[in-house]
Amino acid sequence: MLLLVGLGNPGPEYADTRHNVGFRVIDEIVARHGFEPWRSRFHGLISKGRVEGVEALALKPMTFMNNSGVAVSEAARFHKIERNAIVVFHDEIDLAPGKLKAKLGGGSAGHNGLKSIEGHLGPDFRRVRIGVGHPGERHQVARYLTNARFDKDDEIWLEPLIDAMVDAVPLLAAEGGDAKFTNKVALLTKPPKAKKSAGDEEDE
């Protein structure tokens, strides 16, 4: 079984903020892959489904970001899910908007949700880092993540990125899934090459 975790904060005041992009991705995965309706369990909301024939459990911790590890560890232990089968979708300020990286293990880079999960399970779970950009100044980070919502300009890159992630998520169930997933998302979000016309040729 895969455990697909989206990180975020509960409540309408945090909806569509950068810190909640993990919630948004998981919501789309559940909706478009035909998972069961959400229900409350493990200090969060869970939904069961399948990706590429593999049973999967989607989880949105309702503990607030700083205590995400409570929900993730309870779900993982109850269902006896190995840490390398836990995939956490989360925001990453050190990646440019629209960029994505998936890997097993790594540091928390100051992300409180990851810190909490590491505290309960150790570092050896899988992470999908979703670039949301940096505000430029360190003291602006907290407000940038939890108060500033995605605007129309953000949606230009965000919607195609989430669409690509939802399409590619079955690859996470395969061997070498993190690299395959990352490559598929990059391919799906790559802008088409502009066609050269005869007038674009340089004169010799």
- With 80 as the cut, is the pLDDT of residue 199 above it? no
Cα distances (angstroms) measured from residue 87 to each of 2, 59, 101, 123, 185: 7, 10, 12, 12, 16
pLDDT in tens, 11-45: 999 999 999 999 999 999 999 999 999 999 999 99
pLDDT in tens, 52-105: 889 999 999 999 999 999 999 999 999 999 999 999 999 999 999 999 999 999
19 is known as an active-site residue: yes
* Contact present, 147 and 17 (Cβ < 8 Å): yes
User: Phi and psi at residue 170, in whole multiples of 5°?
Assistant: -60, -25
What is 2-190's CATH number, 3.40.50.2300, 3.40.50.970, 1.20.1270.360, 3.40.50.1470?
Answer: 3.40.50.1470
- With 70 as the cut, is the pLDDT of residue 145 above it? yes
DSSP H/E element including 23: helix 21-32
- Active-site residue identified among 19, 33, 90, 111: 19
- With 60 as the cut, is the pLDDT of residue 2 above it? yes
Pick left, alpha or beta for residue 129 (phi over 0 → left; psi -120 to 50 → alpha; otherwise beta): beta
